[in-house]
Amino acid sequence: MNAPLPEHIRKALETVTLDDKYSLDSGRAFMSGVQALVRLPMLQRQRDAMAGLNTAGFISGYRGSPLGTYDQSLWAAKKHLAANNIVFQPGVNEELGATAVWGTQQLDLYPQSKKFDGVFGIWYGKGPGVDRCSDVFKHANMAGTAKHGGVIAIAGDDHISKSSTAAHQSDHIFKACGTPVFFPSSVQEILDMGLHAFAMSRFSGVWSGMKTIQEVVESSSSINIDPDRVKIVMPEDFVMPPGGLHIRWPDAPLEQEARLMDYKWYAALAYVRANKLNYNVIQGPNDRFGIIASGKAYNDTRQALVDLGLDDDTCRQLGIRVHKVNVVWPLEATITRDFAQGLQEILVVEEKRQVIEYQLKEELYNWRSDVRPHVLG
């Protein structure tokens, strides 16, 4: 047990540093979910530079578990952020932080003073902070994002009220504000879905919401940080309205509302569809029972199947189809209908109040009774 390490392993370990998670340009790096949220804007800046864009980033918000150490991690990475034109300025409160992030999307309204092609933004806050910021989110969402900007609002949810006065579930607040909701299930997906969230925000003109919970954001793993790992596909089946979907001035409130409801949400759905962000993980030719889940509930579902002795091959033999949802609202209709096709029954696995279940039922409502699967949640 005290045998020396092989020479090639020893030399490899000598090159590893605690800064690898921020300093490496490619390969793999070990980091926590919170640290992945620090790396995310750097990765976006790196991808923009590869695309010939000179962009900057701005991060603001207010601390609170499970994002209680996010600001500390950002301060610790200050030199790496500065090298990528990324500024971190915590807010006096959640609303002021969100308003400052909203301001980054107004860059194109003042072309004479532009220093960058665009500024992407990140807002962060605990569940109660999402509640407090709903007015800012609504106004910013209706106003729109910049072509080379984009915003992610990261919510730290405490489902079991471990360190909160009340349990929180931000999905419904995001929905009320018209903000699409990403729910990553791993540290790797925080990076991958984060890049998709920025791209969706730029394409559709809406802010992207990202839901994080303790079991995911406080976990750690070795992940792939290659800048070209995530392949972004721009939708070809969505027709932009005259003037596009980005921020402009002047812009009347009712015109903003119509643009959000008639175009922006459908642009976001087209992005989900083009990039296949929701997909079948397990499927076979004779499936009759479906399971649909997202985020931590997806991880729990896969573990439960393993505990029951149901590996992927066994599920296929038994006719069990498993569907993973990365964007829980709005639920993309075409992908969802394809998942449900041919099934007799669908089990929706999600924590707290239903989000996926009611959308799934709406999609299946007009199916003939002889082909419409039963839905349990």
- In this prediction, residue 4 carries a pLDDT of 76
- Give the list of residues 6+ apart from residue 103 with CB closer than 8 angstroms, or none: none
- Beta partners for residue 211, in sequence order: 155
Let me know whether 218 and 257 are in one domain: yes
Q: Please tell me whether residues 313 and 256 are part of one structural domain.
A: no
* Residue 186 within any structural domain of the chain: yes
Residue 360 and residue 215 share a domain = no
Q: Where is pLDDT greater, at 168 or 297?
A: 297
Secondary structure of residue 270 in the 3-state scheme: helix
The answer to the question of residue 32 being in a domain is yes
| Domain annotation covers residue 346 | yes
Of 243, 237, 311, whose CA–CA distance to 269 is shortest? Answer: 237
Alpha-helix residue ranges (DSSP H) falling in the chain: 7-14, 20-23, 33-50, 70-76, 78-83, 94-104, 127-132, 134-143, 171-176, 187-204, 214-217, 253-259, 265-275, 295-307, 312-318, 333-340, 356-364
Spatial separation of the C-alpha atoms in residues 364 and 340, rounded to whole Å: 8
The DSSP string of 292-309 is: EEEHHHHHHHHHHHHHTT
* Amino acid in position 166: A
In this predicted model, what pLDDT tens digit does every residue of 280-323 receive, in sequence order?
A: 999 999 999 999 999 999 999 999 999 999 999 999 999 999 99
- What does the longest C-alpha to C-alpha distance in the chain come to? 73
More confident residue, 376 or 162: 376
Is 239's pLDDT higher than 90?
A: yes
My answer on whether 21 and 130 are in the same domain is yes
- Tokens 């699967």 locate to 373
Q: Is residue 246 part of a domain?
A: yes
Which tens digits make up the pLDDT trace of 92-127?
Answer: 999 999 999 999 999 999 999 999 999 999 999 999
Q: Are residues 74 and 181 in the same domain?
A: yes
Share of the chain above pLDDT 90, in %: 90
CA 122 to chain centre: 12
**Count of Cβ atoms closer than 10 Å to residue 317 Cβ:** 12
> Could you tell me if residue 1 is inside a domain?
no
| Local structure of residue 286 (DSSP, 8 states) | T
Q: State the Rg of the chain over Cα.
A: 21
- How much is the average pLDDT of 323-339? 98
Residues 205 and 339 occupy one common structural domain:
no
- What is the per-residue pLDDT across 179-217, written as a single tens digit (0 to 9) for each? 999 999 999 999 999 999 999 999 999 999 999 999 999
pLDDT at 14: 62
Bridge partners for 153 per DSSP: 123, 209
| Type of residue numbered 75 | W
Tokens of 221: 């793993």
218 and 315 housed in the same domain:
no
Place of tokens 């308003």: 99
120 and 30 inside one domain: yes
Q: What is the CATH number of the domain that holds 76?
A: 3.40.50.970
State the CB neighbour count (10 A cutoff) for residue 286.
10
Give the pair of three-digit tokens for residue 91. 């807010």
Strands 220-224 and 28-32: antiparallel
| Domain extent for 146 | 8-275
Asked whether the CA dihedral 92, 73, 65, 177 is positive or negative, the reply is positive
Domain count, the chain: 2
Residues 99 and 121 in one domain: yes
Instruction: Decide if 3 is inside a domain.
Output: no
Domain identity same for 170 and 298 = no
Q: Which of 275, 307, 339 is the last residue of a domain?
A: 275
Note the pLDDT of residue 16: 73
Residues 283 and 267 in one domain: no
Token pair 């002889």: residue: 370
Task: Note whether 74 and 118 are same-domain residues.
Answer: yes
Last residue of some domain: 257, 275, 293? 275
